[in-house]
Each structure stands twice: as structure tokens, then as C-alpha cells.
Amino acid sequence: MPSKDRLAEKVLSLDISYIQREIKFFYPFEVQVIDEESYRINTEGEASHLEYKKAQQVTAMARLFRQLLELKGLPIPHQK
């Protein structure tokens, strides 16, 4: 049976460079990447109406928080 010092030496000499620490994170927002023409279309005319933007937020919320809404027994808004 190895001594405590010898065991400690073995543990300290282990190559741990292949061990990765798992990192998880969550951003509670959505990012949309669009081109300049799409931006112009989205900010002018029919697409710029507040109701349209509100509908987009509701749709994104339903998509991101569907499980939470189901857990709480809340209605899930339908996508158009």
C-alpha cells in the first residue's frame, strides 16, 4: 500500500489538461441579426406599427418560456 505522500504525489502529477469544466449560461433575451434592407423594412410602413412589434415580443416570449408557461398552467400565445 503506497504511503500518503506517494499517493499525494501521484494525484498532483495527474494531467488534468483534458478535463473541461462545464459552463452553462442563459441570456433572457433574443438577438436578431438582419441586413440593412430588412432593418429599413422593419422600421418603416406596416412593420413599424406597435401592435406588430408587440406580437413579435409575445411570440418570442412563448418560444423562450413555453416550458415555464406550461408549468404554471398559463395559456401559451399562438404564433401566426
DSSP 14: S
- List pLDDT tens digits, range 29-78: 888 899 998 888 777 766 667 777 888 888 888 888 889 888 989 888 87
- Helix, strand and coil content of the chain, in percent to the nearest 5, comes to 55, 0, 45
The reported pTM is 0.35
Confidence (pLDDT) at 2: 57
- List pLDDT tens digits, range 14-29: 888 777 777 777 778 8
Distance CA 53, CA 30 (A): 14
Confidence (pLDDT) at 8: 85
Q: Which tops the pLDDT comparison, 12 or 18?
A: 12
